[in-house]
């Protein structure tokens, strides 16, 4: 895990700096609360941890079943 220190208005670039995947900006700090602004393409999902855990909990463990073809015993 990477831990860095940023001040309000500063940014973190994710991915190759010449073609970043996205940018995270410190939008504000009030007391013990930090507001983050995420600038990522729409096709990249970004979720708070509690929402990500909820999505995983609602997702079925098995997405499908593989059934073997019934073999006929005729000769």
pTM over cut 0.95: no
Distance CA 56, CA 43 (A): 18
Q: What is the pLDDT of residues 31-67, one digit of tens each?
A: 999 999 999 999 999 999 999 999 999 987 666 677 7
Measured between alpha carbons, how far is 36 from 34 in angstroms, rounded to an integer? 6
Looking at the predicted structure, is the pLDDT value of residue 21 above 80? yes
Q: CA nearest 29: which of 13, 6, 1? A: 6
Residues recorded for the chain: 75
């Amino acid at each position: 895990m990477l831990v860095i220190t940023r001040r309000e208005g500063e940014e973190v670039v994710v991915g190759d700096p010449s073609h970043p995947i996205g940018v995270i900006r410190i939008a504000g700090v009030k007391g013990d609360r930090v507001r983050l602004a995420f600038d990522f393409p729409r096709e990249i999902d970004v979720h708070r941890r509690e929402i990500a855990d909820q999505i995983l909990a609602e997702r079925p463990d098995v997405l499908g079943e593989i059934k073997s073809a019934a073999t006929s015993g005729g000769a």
